[in-house]
Amino acid sequence: MVFFALGTVQCTGGARQKQNNMQTTDHLKGGNGEQETDKTFHDFTALDIHGDRFDLATLKGKKVLVVNVASKCGLTPQYEELQALYEKYKDNDFVVIGFPANNFNEQEPGTNAEIMEFCGVNYGVTFPMMGKISVAGDDQAPLYQWLTQKSENGILDQEVTWNFQKYMVDEEGKLVDVVLPRESPMSEKIVGWITGG
C-alpha cells in the first residue's frame, strides 16, 4: 500500500496550526480586463506522509479525481465506491486522491496514522491518501484555493460544501468539473469523463 501526504494540519494544545507544505511555482496573469491563470494542479508540491517531497507534476498524463474525505460522515461508505472506481480504471491513466479534512462537523478527528488504518481495515483503500488538510475557511490549503476559485483555476468557482466533494482534473492538470458530495463516485458523469464517453 502506498500513501502520500499533501500538506498537513496539526493540533497542538487544542489550537489548530497549519503547516504550509504546499507551494505553487506559477502565477496569475491578467489580460484584457479578464483574469486568467496558467497555474495547474501539476504546479503544486507537497510533503508525503513520510516527509518526502511529492510533486503533483508526477501525475501528468493522468486524470485525477480529488476528494475530501472523512471517517465519521454519513457519506463515508463512498470510500468503497472510490476504491472500486480506482481499481477499475487505474490502468487507464486514472487515479483517485483522498484528502482527509476535519472541516465539517469535525468528522475527521483522527491522526494520519489512524485515518490510514481506518481506510485500510474498513474499505481496503489502496488509492493515494494525503495528509490531513483544511479544505475550507481561513486556513484552506493552497491546492483547495486553486480547486475552489475561478480566479485561481480559470474554470469555475465551487466551494467545498461537505465531505466527499469530487474535483475532476484532466491529464494536463486543468480543472474540468466538480461533482457534489451526495453524487456517487460511480456516477455516469464521472465514469463518462474517465472513459471519454
The residues that are catalytic are: 73
Grid coordinates belonging to 100: 482527509
Question: Strand, coil or helix: what is 50?
Answer: coil
Strands 94-100 and 63-69: parallel
CA dist 23 and 123 (Å) reads 31
Instruction: Give the side-chain half-sphere CA count within 13 A for 193.
Output: 23
Instruction: Give the side-chain half-sphere CA count within 13 A for 1.
Output: 15
Instruction: Give the side-chain half-sphere CA count within 13 A for 81.
Output: 18
CB 8 within 8 A of CB 21: yes
CB 135 within 8 A of CB 160: yes
